[in-house]
Amino acid sequence: MLALVDCNNFYVSCERVFNPSLEHVPVIVLSNNDGCAVARSNEAKELGIRMGAPFFQIRELCHRQGVRVFSSNYELYGDMSRRVTSVLRRFAPQLEVYSIDESFLDLEGIDEPTSLAQDLRETVYKWTGIPVSIGIASSKTLAKAANRLAKKDGTGCRQLLADQCDNALASIKIEDVWGVGRQLGRRLRQIRILTARDLAKASPSKIRRIGGVNLERTLRELNGLSCLGMEQRQPRQNICSSRSFGRPVMELHDMEEALSSYVMTAVQRMRGEGSLAHGIQVFLATNSFKENTPQYHNSISESLPEPTDDLLAITSAALRLLRRIYRNGYAYKKTGLLLLDLMSHSLRQTNLFTEDKTRNREALNHALDQVMDTHGRDSVFLASQGIRRGWQMRRDKRSQGWTTMWDEIPAAG
């Protein structure tokens, strides 16, 4: 048996922990640039606000209905996520952190999984303030389905045993099955597969032709056969950093500043994980939603001379690539980079001819790491990142760094 623990409306719940006035009222959290609704309280869902709804389309509704609106506060959500995970670990040492708000727990050998789950729910809520829902079943895909049902029937905890699956799966629409998205959902509907139950009963070979091995796995998982094991978090293979601009950008100079800042973000993340990049890819794009303006998007990748985590080397490579694909006369919406084919720093092969230079650079990079650790991410930056930064994203409605910033910690009394 395994369990999927999923935090309810996670970002909204995080906001509520530190701001009780948000209880029982509609609340949404927006994506970067205050673009789309990415988390909604139940009250907001009842108002008909869809996941991913562009904010400019629902602004009026929010105003009229008194919806409380927040920009994403990732420092807060990341910290709360770690707290929830640490509680889960006490209950089930074998745990896979699947996303910022979900974990799979291995419950093998537990006699009464549902009573453990109830206990777990109460403890997480008491210790972190975050409400969670739990689905229990013999495969990950079924646990996902059980979780969905637990949310729907309001119990917050649901075990799906083999003899209950048939009925339960019949109530789940095909595109709500984990692993079936928009495209596959449409194709399956065309051949009269409308529910999770229909998929479970379909012919595996036929399903494989439509959706490859993954969809066949989903089918078998729905029949209770576990095909997706518990996985340990693998080191990332790629790191991507990119942002949409707060306003359209016309100048190469602004693009360079922005990209340089994203390089900083990506390299810091990579260094934090102790990895080196073999290659780098840079991309840029205009706003594809604007139909009547000239469109241009392009990307370019390059192998680095040797695997590296050196900020200056990666920054200069990125800016060089950007200049190669940049074209004058477009209103750009976005640029970014990927660090490709990451490997562990410990596997690095030294190069006889560049070793001295590498050592000096490493000292510089290390010093940068330390300054940022001590004084914050923005305390030091490259001149190429610029100072005015007119391209920066909007984040007007952010809540405080309740748990992550000394000067924003809540005061009592």
Partner DNA sequence: TCTGGGGTCCTAGGACCC
Residues forming contacts to DNA in the complex (CB under 7 A) are 31-33, 35-36, 38, 52, 54-56, 59, 98-102, 144, 177-185, 212-214, 234, 236-244, 247-248, 265, 269, 287, 289-290, 301, 333-334, 336, 338, 393
**Distance, CA of 69 to CA of 53 (rounded, Å):** 13
Select from 38, 30, 12 the least CA-distant residue to 72: 30
First CA to last CA across the chain, in angstroms? 47
Cα angle 64, 68, 71; round to 5? 125
Q: What tokens does 61 get?
A: 């509704």
Partners of 37 in the β-ladder: 30
| Closest CB to DNA among residues 99, 115 | 99
Q: How far is the CB of 208 from DNA (least distance, A)?
A: 7
In the numeric block, the tokens 């209770």 are attached to 224
| Closest CB to DNA among residues 224, 246 | 246
Q: How far is the CB of 337 from DNA (least distance, A)?
A: 9
Q: How far is the CB of 119 from DNA (least distance, A)?
A: 24
Burial class (CB in 10 A: 0-12, 13-18, 19+), 195: middle
Q: How far is the CB of 410 from DNA (least distance, A)?
A: 26
**Distance, CA of 308 to CA of 277 (rounded, Å):** 5
| Closest CB to DNA among residues 56, 127 | 56
| Closest CB to DNA among residues 190, 234 | 234
Is residue 380 a contact partner of residue 373, using CB atoms and an 8 Å limit? Answer: no
| Closest CB to DNA among residues 25, 79 | 79
Q: Which residues contact 14 (CB under 8 A, 6 or more apart)?
A: 73, 76, 77, 80, 130
Q: How far is the CB of 233 from DNA (least distance, A)?
A: 10
Q: How far is the CB of 243 from DNA (least distance, A)?
A: 4
| Closest CB to DNA among residues 86, 237 | 237
